[in-house]
């Protein structure tokens, strides 16, 4: 399973951007950010979307873990769970927020791995959808 790793500079420190492979026909791909301070995040980017589009993501911050090594191990386990299972991201539009929830599927059904939301009437760019909810899908990545 190949991936691209690129180091990018930030004003207050750099980070590594890791982009993961996708299965053909997937609506989105996953990418991880690992910051020089040891914190990390993973997000999904819709196929063909602009870089500034707000979509699903979760952050792993130092106060939630005992060490940066624990963050790293959790990130690896998290990414493997997402890449080796079918996933879906559900976008919902509420009165105040636009939310995104990510789930993976196994023999027991669908399981949430977390969500995020932002104010609907803000400067964020959201995917335009018909209605109040839309489901995006990505198939498990098959080892090459």
pLDDT band (50, 70, 90) for residue 143: confident
- Kindly state whether residue 144 falls inside one of the protein's structural domains: no
* Tens-place pLDDT, residues 38-53: 889 999 999 999 989 9
Task: Give the C-alpha distances (Å, rounded to integers) separating 26 from 35, 49, 83, 89, 105.
Answer: 27, 13, 12, 11, 15
pLDDT band (50, 70, 90) for residue 14: confident
For residues 24 and 70, what is the distance between their CA atoms, to the nearest angstrom? 32
Counted domains in the chain:
1
How many CA atoms does the CB half-sphere of 96 hold within 13 Å?
A: 0
pLDDT value for 11: 58
- Kindly state whether residue 42 falls inside one of the protein's structural domains: yes
Phi, psi of 33 (to 5 degrees): -120, 125
- Cβ density class 68-80: b for 16+ within 10 Å, e for less: beebeeebeebbe
Domain that holds residue 66: 4-138
For residues 9 and 7, what is the distance between their CA atoms, to the nearest angstrom? 7
- Name, in order, each residue with C-beta under 8 angstroms of 82's C-beta and a sequence gap of 6 or more: 30, 42, 102, 104, 113
Rg, the chain, Cα only:
15
pLDDT surpasses 70 at 12 = no
pLDDT value for 69: 87
* Tens-place pLDDT, residues 62-108: 888 888 889 889 999 999 999 999 999 999 999 999 999 999 999 99
pLDDT surpasses 50 at 1 = no
pLDDT band (50, 70, 90) for residue 6: low
Q: The whole model's pTM is what? A: 0.87
- Kindly state whether residue 69 falls inside one of the protein's structural domains: yes
pLDDT value for 144: 63
For residues 34 and 20, what is the distance between their CA atoms, to the nearest angstrom? 14
pLDDT band (50, 70, 90) for residue 56: very high
Does residue 136 sit in helix, strand or coil? strand
């Amino acid at each position: 399973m190949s991936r691209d790793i690129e180091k990018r500079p930030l004003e207050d420190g750099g980070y590594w951007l890791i982009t993961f492979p996708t299965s053909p026909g997937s609506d989105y791909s996953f990418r991880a950010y690992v910051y020089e301070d040891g914190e990390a995040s993973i997000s999904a980017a819709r196929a063909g979307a602009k870089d500034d589009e707000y979509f699903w993501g979760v952050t792993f911050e130092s106060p939630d873990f005992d060490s940066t090594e624990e963050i790293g191990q959790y990130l690896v386990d998290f990414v493997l769970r997402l890449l080796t299972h079918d996933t879906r991201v559900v976008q919902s539009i509420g009165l105040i927020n636009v939310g995104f929830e990510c789930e993976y599927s196994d023999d027991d059904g669908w399981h949430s791995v977390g969500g995020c939301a932002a104010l609907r009437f803000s400067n964020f760019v959201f995917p335009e959808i018909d209605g109040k909810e839309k489901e995006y899908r990505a198939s498990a990545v098959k080892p090459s």
